[in-house]
C-alpha cells in the first residue's frame, strides 16, 4: 500500500500525464435540456470533474454500455481510444460494489464468462472516491457498505478541501503514482474518522435477514400493493448500477448486419412474454417482485452479497418516486406478521 | 390563483368526508413518501389517513391513468385542470364510468415547478368535477398569466428544428417513462412492443428514437391535454412534450378543437365534418 497527498494543481498534472496512456472517464455535468445531470463520460479536461456529490448515474454506461456492438462500444466518443485502458475516476462505494456484482456474474461465475465484459473490465482501473455526504435517497450503509472506503477499488481518492489523498492498494498501479509526494497515513486515518463521525445516520434500516425467503413471499399480496403507483417504465432498471439484463440481436441494412447487445429491463411487460403470448409476469407487482427478489434473494443465494447497493438512484429517477426502501419495509412487515422463516433460506 | 396550502387542506377535508361516509373505496391523490420528502401518488383507503393528502408545486404526475386500474370500483381522484381534461377524454372514450368516480377538481391551478406546459396553459380551472377546491380563475386572470408566452420551436427554421430534436433525442434511452406517464398511452400493446411488424430496432439509436417520438407524437393529435407529465417523467430532461404540444396547437388552429373539454366530446380523429379544413400543419 502507498499513500500520496497532492494539491489540486498536481492532480491536474497527473491527470494530463495519465490521459496520454489511458482513456479517462469521470463524472461531469452534462447539458440535458433545461437541467444539468452529473454523469460519467470520457473526458480530456481535469477541471470538468465534479467530485463533491454523488453522480446522477452510475458508471454503468462505461463498464456495461447500453448499446454495445461487441467490440466497438464507444463510437463517437471523442476521448476514447480502443487501444488504451480506461481509468474511471471518482467512483463511490455504492457504484464500486455494483461493479463487483457485474464481476461476480460475468467473470467469476465459471459456468459462463462474458468475453465482451471481461475484455472491457480487464482494461479498466477504478479510482474510487470517499463519500462525504449522504444524499436524501442514499442507504448504502444500511446494506452493510462503507461509504468512506470500499476495498474493491485498487486506487482510492480522499478529497480534503483542495487537497487529495491517493491510496494505492494494488501494487500493480504503484508505478503510475510513484513521483507524487508522500501522504501521511495518520493524517488520512484522522480524516476518515472525521468523515465517519460526520456522516449522518440513514433513516432506513434493513431488519430482515437475506436472502429473502422466496417461497414464503412469492404469492403475497404486498407486491401489487407496493406497485400500485408504478408506471411500468424502465427507469429504475436503466439507472440501477447493478441491473445487468441484456438482449442480443442482429440489426442492419443493405444486406449487412451487426450483432448488438443492449440493456433489457425486467420492468417491461415484454421482458417475460413467451412466444405463445403467455406472460408469467403479467402484472407490475409480479415484475417488481422479480426485481426485489433478484437483488435480495436470488443474487445472495447464488453469489455473495446483495445485488442492491443502496445508491438510491431508482428512487431519485423514478417518475412517481416509488421508493425501494418502502418496498423493503413492506416486505419486512409482511414477513414479521406471517412469521417468516428467520434463517432466510428454504 | 389559488394557493397550495389551502388547496391541500380542502382536499384532505373532502377526502375524509368521502371515506367516512363510504362514498368511495379510495382516494387517489398526492402525498409524501415515507423516507424521502418527495411527492408521490398515494392511495388513501381510510379516513384517518386523509391528512396525508397534499398539493404543492411538485405534484407533477398525472393521476388520471390510475383510474384504468380500478374499473368497477368507487374511487375519488384529485385532478388538476389538465388531469380533469384527461378524465373527460377517458369518459368520452368509455374507458371509465362517471358514476364510479368522484372528482376533486382544482380551480385556479397555481402550476407545477419545472413543467413548461404550465407556461402556456390556458385551462386553469377543472373542467369536470364533483367537488372543487381552490379559487376559480377568470379568463382575464388566465390571459394575464400566459401573456408574452412564445413557442421557441415555432420560431426555428426547418434545419434548426432538426438540429434541436437531434440533440434532444440523442439522449433518449427509451426507458418509456414518457409513454407510461401519459394518460393517452393506454393501448393494450404499444407499437414499440410489437415484433410483427417490427417498427423499431432494439438498439437505442437516434433514428429509432426519432421514430418512437414522432409516432408517439402523431398519436397525440386531438388527445393530448398538454399536461406535461411526459416531460416531467423523462430522466434525461428531453423535450418530449414538443411534438404532442404541436399537435394540440395544430388541432386548435386548424379544427378549433381542444381535447377533453367535455365528456360528450368526440375525439378529433373519430369525427368528420364536410367543411373541415384541409390545411396540413406542415404548410
Consecutive 10-residue averages of pLDDT for chain B (283 residues): 90 97 96 90 96 96 96 96 97 95 96 94 96 95 91 92 93 94 93 86 87 92 93 94 89 90 90 79 54
Domain boundary among A144, A163, A198: A198
- Under 8 Å between Cβ of A205 and A238: no
Give chain A's domain count: 2
Instruction: Let me know whether A86 and A183 are in one domain.
Output: yes
In this complex, is the C-beta atom of B272 within 8 Å of any C-beta atom belonging to chain A?
A: no
Instruction: Let me know whether A222 and A178 are in one domain.
Output: no
pLDDT at residue A344 in the model? 45
pLDDT at residue B280 in the model? 61
Interface of B with A in 157-186 (CB under 8 A): 168, 171, 173-177, 179-181
Asked whether residue B235 is domain-assigned, the answer is yes
- Under 8 Å between Cβ of A125 and A22: yes
Tell me the chain A residues in contact with residue B35 when contact means C-beta distances shorter than 8 Å: 137, 203-204, 315, 323, 325-326
Asked whether residue B282 is domain-assigned, the answer is no
Q: Which stretch of DSSP H or E encloses residue B249? A: helix B241-255
Instruction: Let me know whether B165 and B232 are in one domain.
Output: yes
Residues 6+ apart with CB under 8 A from B108: B1, B2, B124, B125, B134, B135, B136, B137, B141
Asked whether residue A207 is domain-assigned, the answer is no
Mean pLDDT along residues A305-313:
96
Asked whether residue B275 is domain-assigned, the answer is no
Q: How confident is the model at residue A78 (pLDDT cuts 50, 70, 90)?
A: confident
Q: How confident is the model at residue A17 (pLDDT cuts 50, 70, 90)?
A: very high
Identity of the residue in A232, A235, A251 whose CB atom sits nearest the CB atom of B202: A251
* Residue in B69, B119, B164, B236 to test binding to A, most A beta-carbons within 10 Å: B236
Give chain B's domain count: 2
Q: CA of A46, closest CA in chain B: separation in Å?
A: 24
pLDDT at residue A211 in the model? 94
**A315 φ/ψ angles, rounded to the nearest 5 degrees:** -80, -50
Q: What's the complex ipTM? A: 0.91
Asked whether residue A208 is domain-assigned, the answer is no
- Would the pLDDT of A249 be above 70? yes
Q: What is the pTM of this model?
A: 0.91
pLDDT at residue A277 in the model? 87
Instruction: Let me know whether A24 and A162 are in one domain.
Output: yes
pLDDT at residue A73 in the model? 65
Which of A319, A328, A231 lies closest to A289, judged by CA? A328
| Domain that residue A224 falls in | 214-337
Q: Which stretch of DSSP H or E encloses residue A101? A: helix A93-103
Which of A319, A277, A255, A235 lies closest to A57, judged by CA? A235
Instruction: Let me know whether B81 and B173 are in one domain.
Output: no
The CA distance from A228 to A258, in Å, is 40
Q: What is the mean pLDDT of chain A?
A: 91
pLDDT at residue B131 in the model? 97
CB contact under 8 A, B36 and A319: no
CB contact under 8 A, A319 and B232: yes
Asked whether residue B281 is domain-assigned, the answer is no
Asked whether residue B277 is domain-assigned, the answer is no
Mean pLDDT along residues A140-146:
94
Instruction: Let me know whether B206 and B93 are in one domain.
Output: no
Question: Between the CA of residue A53 and those of A118, A130, A134, B156, what are the distances in Å?
Answer: 29, 10, 9, 37
The CA distance from B127 to B98, in Å, is 14
Question: Coil, strand, or helix at residue A269?
Answer: helix
* Residue in B117, B118, B191, B203 to test binding to A, most A beta-carbons within 10 Å: B203
Instruction: Let me know whether B24 and B124 are in one domain.
Output: yes
| Domain that residue B105 falls in | 4-146
Which of A268, A95, A40, A235 lies closest to B238, judged by CA? A235
Instruction: Let me know whether B97 and B175 are in one domain.
Output: no
Instruction: Let me know whether B221 and B101 are in one domain.
Output: no
Instruction: Let me know whether A152 and A31 are in one domain.
Output: yes
- Would the pLDDT of A341 be above 70? no
Burial of B111 (0-12, 13-18, 19+ CB in 10 A): middle
pLDDT at residue B79 in the model? 97
Which of B173, B184, B245, B242 lies closest to B208, judged by CA? B173
The CA distance from A286 to A227, in Å, is 9
Pairing mode of beta strands A155-160, A124-129: parallel
Mean pLDDT along residues A48-68:
90
Question: Coil, strand, or helix at residue A168?
Answer: strand
In this complex, is the C-beta atom of A283 within 8 Å of any C-beta atom belonging to chain B?
A: no
Domain boundary among B104, B119, B146: B146
- Would the pLDDT of A58 be above 70? yes
The CA distance from B43 to A328, in Å, is 19
Interface of A with B in 98-157 (CB under 8 A): 136-137
Least confident of A12-16, A43-47, A185-189, A198-202: A198-202
- Would the pLDDT of A231 be above 90? yes
Asked whether residue B73 is domain-assigned, the answer is yes
Which of B219, B220, B200, B221 lies closest to B211, judged by CA? B200
Q: How confident is the model at residue A345 (pLDDT cuts 50, 70, 90)?
A: very low
Tell me the chain B residues in contact with residue A317 when contact means C-beta distances shorter than 8 Å: 235
Residue of A nearest to B232 (CA): A319
Tell me the chain B residues in contact with residue A320 when contact means C-beta distances shorter than 8 Å: 40-41, 61
Identity of the residue in A233, A262, A323 whose CB atom sits nearest the CB atom of B176: A233
Instruction: Let me know whether B113 and B169 are in one domain.
Output: no
Q: CA of B84, closest CA in chain A: separation in Å?
A: 19
Q: CA of A321, closest CA in chain B: separation in Å?
A: 6
Amino acid at each position: 500500500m502507498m499513500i500520496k497527498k497532492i494539491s489540486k494543481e498536481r492532480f491536474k498534472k497527473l491527470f494530463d500525464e495519465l490521459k496520454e496512456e489511458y482513456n479517462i472517464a469521470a463524472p461531469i455535468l452534462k447539458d440535458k435540456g433545461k437541467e444539468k445531470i452529473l454523469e460519467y463520460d470520457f473526458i480530456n479536461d481535469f477541471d470538468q470533474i465534479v467530485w463533491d456529490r454523488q453522480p446522477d448515474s452510475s458508471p454503468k454506461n462505461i463498464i456495461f454500455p447500453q448499446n454495445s456492438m461487441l467490440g466497438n462500444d464507444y463510437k463517437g466518443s471523442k476521448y476514447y481510444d480502443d487501444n488504451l485502458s480506461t481509468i474511471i475516476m471518482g467512483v463511490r462505494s455504492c457504484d464500486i460494489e455494483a461493479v463487483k456484482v457485474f464481476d461476480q456474474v460475468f467473470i467469476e461465475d465459471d459456468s459462463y464468462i462474458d468475453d465482451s465484459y471481461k475484455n472491457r473490465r480487464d482494461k479498466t482501473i477504478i479510482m474510487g472516491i470517499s463519500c462525504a455526504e449522504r444524499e436524501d435517497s442514499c442507504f448504502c450503509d444500511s446494506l452493510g457498505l462503507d461509504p468512506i472506503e470500499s476495498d474493491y477499488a485498487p486506487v482510492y481518492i480522499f478529497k480534503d478541501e483542495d487537497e487529495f489523498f491517493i491510496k494505492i492498494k494494488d501494487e500493480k498501479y504503484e508505478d503510475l503514482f510513484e513521483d507524487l509526494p508522500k501522504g501521511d497515513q495518520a493524517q488520512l486515518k484522522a480524516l476518515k474518522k472525521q468523515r465517519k463521525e460526520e456522516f449522518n445516520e440513514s433513516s432506513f434500516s434493513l431488519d430482515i435477514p437475506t436472502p429473502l425467503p422466496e417461497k414464503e413471499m412469492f404469492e403475497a399480496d404486498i407486491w401489487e400493493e407496493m406497485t400500485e403507483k408504478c408506471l411500468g417504465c424502465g427507469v429504475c432498471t436503466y439507472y440501477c448500477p447493478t441491473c445487468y439484463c441484456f438482449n442480443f440481436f442482429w440489426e442492419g441494412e443493405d444486406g449487412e448486419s451487426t450483432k448488438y447487445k443492449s440493456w433489457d429491463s425486467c420492468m417491461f411487460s415484454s421482458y417475460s412474454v413467451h412466444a405463445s403470448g403467455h406472460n408469467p409476469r403479467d402484472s407490475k407487482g409480479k415484475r417488481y417482485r422479480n426485481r426485489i427478489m433478484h437483488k435480495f434473494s436470488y443474487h445472495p443465494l447464488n453469489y455473495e452479497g446483495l445485488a442492491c447497493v443502496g445508491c438510491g438512484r431508482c428512487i431519485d429517477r423514478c417518475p412517481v418516486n416509488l421508493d425501494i426502501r418502502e418496498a423493503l419495509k413492506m416486505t419486512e412487515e409482511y414477513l414479521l406478521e406471517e412469521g417468516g422463516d428467520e434463517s432466510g433460506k428454504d | 390563483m389559488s394557493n397550495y396550502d389551502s388547496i391541500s387542506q380542502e382536499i384532505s377535508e373532502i377526502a375524509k368526508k368521502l371515506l367516512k361516509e363510504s362514498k368511495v373505496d379510495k382516494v387517489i391523490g398526492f402525498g409524501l413518501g415515507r423516507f424521502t420528502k418527495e411527492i408521490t401518488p398515494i392511495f388513501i383507503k381510510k379516513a384517518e389517513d386523509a391528512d396525508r393528502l397534499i398539493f404543492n408545486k411538485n405534484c407533477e404526475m398525472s393521476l388520471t391513468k390510475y383510474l384504468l386500474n380500478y374499473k368497477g370500483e368507487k374511487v375519488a381522484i384529485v385532478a388538476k385542470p389538465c388531469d380533469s381534461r384527461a378524465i373527460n377524454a377517458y369518459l368520452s372514450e368509455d374507458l371509465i364510468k362517471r358514476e364510479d368516480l368522484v372528482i376533486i377538481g382544482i380551480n385556479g391551478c397555481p402550476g407545477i415547478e419545472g413543467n413548461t406546459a404550465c407556461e402556456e396553459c390556458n385551462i386553469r380551472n377543472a373542467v369536470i368535477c364533483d367537488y372543487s377546491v381552490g379559487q376559480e380563475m377568470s379568463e382575464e386572470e388566465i390571459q394575464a398569466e400566459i401573456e408574452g408566452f412564445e413557442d421557441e420551436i415555432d420560431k426555428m427554421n426547418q434545419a434548426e428544428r432538426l438540429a434541436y430534436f437531434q440533440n434532444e433525442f440523442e439522449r433518449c434511452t427509451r426507458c418509456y417513462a414518457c409513454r407510461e406517464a401519459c394518460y393517452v398511452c393506454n393501448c393494450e400493446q404499444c407499437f414499440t412492443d410489437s415484433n410483427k411488424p417490427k417498427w423499431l430496432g432494439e438498439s437505442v439509436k437516434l433514428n429509432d428514437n426519432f421514430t418512437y417520438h414522432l409516432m408517439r407524437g402523431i398519436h397525440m393529435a386531438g388527445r393530448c391535454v398538454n399536461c406535461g407529465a411526459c416531460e416531467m417523467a423523462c430522466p434525461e430532461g428531453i423535450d418530449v412534450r414538443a411534438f404532442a404540444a404541436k399537435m394540440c396547437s395544430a388541432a386548435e388552429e386548424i379544427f378549433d378543437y381542444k381535447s377533453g373539454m367535455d365528456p360528450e366530446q368526440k375525439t378529433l380523429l373519430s369525427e368528420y365534418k364536410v367543411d373541415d379544413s384541409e390545411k396540413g400543419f406542415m404548410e
